[in-house]
Amino acid sequence: MGDNRKILVVGGGISGLTAAVEAAEAGAEVVVVERKPYLGGRVSQFNHYFPKLCPPACGLEINFRRIKNNPAISYHTLATVESISGGPGNYEVNVTIQPRFVNDNCTGCGECAKVCSTEIPNPHDYGMGNVKAAYLPHPMAFPFKYVIDPSIVGTDEGKACADACAYGAVDLAMQPATLTFSVGAIVWATGWAPYDATKVDYLGLGKYPDVVTSVMFERLAAADGPTGGKILRPSDGKEAKSVAFVQCAGSRDENHLPYCSGVCCLASLKQATYVREQYPDSKAYIYYIDVRAMGKYEDFYTKVDQDENVTLIKSKIARVSQAPSGGLLLEGEDIVNGGKVKQVVDLVVLAVGMVPGTAAVKPELPMEYDDFGFVVSSGASGIVPAGCVKAPMEVAASVQDATAAALKALQCAMGR
């Protein structure tokens, strides 16, 4: 093995970004490949982070600055790994870059979007609401560059977007490209996806518009989300002043995800604060099997629980249905007090578990997987997993794990 201090990071979420900056600041040259048009991963879709309840920008911004200021880090968006060959110390990786149809001249002025009328479902908002086919992925996007959706390439509208750009940034002739990198080690940080809770049919996702998932709720509460940050019922735009959070929506269930994702209880506690802060006369109900708020997060749980308008009920919800009087009816067992739970609310939020990016398709790489698709290998092969691709974890744990992964990758790259 040689001393190839170049490291490839696959996945530009908080884990991949952390691994990239840590490895680069320790002397490596780093290339990040991210399949979306921007860096930041799922964190960029949050309204606030627990436990401090600050906006995602406060964690991401500093990493973007470290990347911008460090010439040893390069990154490619709309990029995926096509093939990997070689071994620790000398991997060769082919990466395919899909065309953005916008080049580096883009200033983010938005003139292209002004002449575009075609709309597509907004991927950043989980399809709630639309975005123009010439779009900035979100207001804090890094890189701060527009994207032209392939659906308008080759049309008069696409041409109008190009003509509207005073900087020559819209390039409709862009083609997919393949880049080859020789690297000493690879950090695999492809993260997680929310469990598809439409499979838990008795909870009503996909049947009732006012049943949403926890990840969708982040967007409903976010100022740059589909409702401008107002927590409104999707069905009729009414203010959602009574909100039920259903924990373990598919989790800890042999028919769905047998494991606990560990962060969902904290996410629902956090989301209850969104409701309570927005509407002083609101009520939040959290239906849980067990509240998992380990270690330092116990204080956060206690603080939210002290609000008398946040009610935690130990119950497994067995059914969500349309209430005859309007709203949604939740039914289940009240495990502590006995009897039945029957509660009508404006909005139901399903706390969905985290599924690793490697669950659906396992890359044919020297990595080992557990039964659920999480990567469990140590990284001795020079392909080092980091963050939620290994196990569900919150941001602080992801950052710690990615820092350790950067060190492991450096050791592998240098043949130590």
Ligand X SMILES: Cc1cc2nc3c(=O)[nH]c(=O)nc-3n(C[C@H](O)[C@H](O)[C@H](O)COP(=O)(O)OP(=O)(O)OC[C@H]3O[C@@H](n4cnc5c(N)ncnc54)[C@H](O)[C@@H]3O)c2cc1C
- Residue 21 touches ligand X, criterion: CB under 6 A: no
Q: Which of 7, 29, 37, 46 binds ligand X (CB under 6 A)?
A: 46
State the greatest distance between any 2 C-alpha atoms of the chain, in Å, as a whole number: 71
CB 28 within 8 A of CB 415: no
- Residue 188 touches ligand X, criterion: CB under 6 A: no
Q: Which of 73, 244, 313, 395 binds ligand X (CB under 6 A)?
A: 395
CB of 329 to ligand X, least distance (A): 24
- Residue 124 touches ligand X, criterion: CB under 6 A: no
- Residue 152 touches ligand X, criterion: CB under 6 A: no
- Residue 267 touches ligand X, criterion: CB under 6 A: yes
Q: Tell me the window of 29-37, 100-108, 228-236, 309-317 that interacts with ligand X (CB under 6 A).
A: 29-37
- Residue 315 touches ligand X, criterion: CB under 6 A: no
Q: Which of 1, 26, 35, 97 binds ligand X (CB under 6 A)?
A: 35
Q: Tell me the window of 39-47, 64-72, 174-182, 332-340 that interacts with ligand X (CB under 6 A).
A: 39-47
Q: Which of 63, 77, 214, 343 binds ligand X (CB under 6 A)?
A: 214
- Residue 225 touches ligand X, criterion: CB under 6 A: no
CB of 115 to ligand X, least distance (A): 29
Q: Which of 270, 276, 314, 408 binds ligand X (CB under 6 A)?
A: 270
Q: Which of 88, 226, 250, 387 binds ligand X (CB under 6 A)?
A: 387
Q: Tell me the window of 19-27, 28-36, 114-122, 321-329 that interacts with ligand X (CB under 6 A).
A: 28-36
CB of 186 to ligand X, least distance (A): 11
Q: Which of 22, 24, 30, 42 binds ligand X (CB under 6 A)?
A: 42
Task: Give the Cα-Cα-Cα angle 377, 33, 108 (nearest 5 degrees).
Answer: 150
Residues 322-381 that bind ligand X (CB under 6 A): 354, 357
**Contacts with ligand X: how many residues (CB under 6 A)?**
36
- Residue 393 touches ligand X, criterion: CB under 6 A: yes
3-state secondary structure the chain: CCCCCEEEEECCEHHHHHHHHHHHHCCCEEEEECCCCCCEHHHHHCCCCCCCCCCCHHHHHHHHHHHHCCCCEEEECCEEEEEEEEECCEEEEEEEECCCCECCCCCCCCHHHHCCCCEEECHHHCCCCEEECEECCCCCCCCCCCEECHHHCCCHHHHHHHHHCCCCCECCCCCCEEEEEEECEEEECCCEEECCHHHCHHHCCCCCCCEEEHHHHHHHHCCCCCCCCCCECCCCCCECCEEEEECCCCECCCCCECCCCCCHHHHHHHHHHHHHHHCCCCEEEEEECCCCCCHHHHHHHHHHHCCCCEEEEECCEEEEEECCCCCEEEEEECCCCCCEEEEEECEEEECCCEEECCCCCCCCCCCCECCCCCECCCCCCCEEECHHHCCCCCHHHHHHHHHHHHHHHHHHHCCC
Residues 226-265 that bind ligand X (CB under 6 A): 263
CB of 189 to ligand X, least distance (A): 5
- Residue 412 touches ligand X, criterion: CB under 6 A: no
Q: Which residue has the tokens 């490291």?
A: 7
- Residue 10 touches ligand X, criterion: CB under 6 A: yes
Contact footprint for ligand X (CB under 6 A): 10-16, 33-36, 41-43, 46, 49-50, 80, 189-192, 214-215, 263, 267, 270, 354, 357, 387-388, 393-396, 398
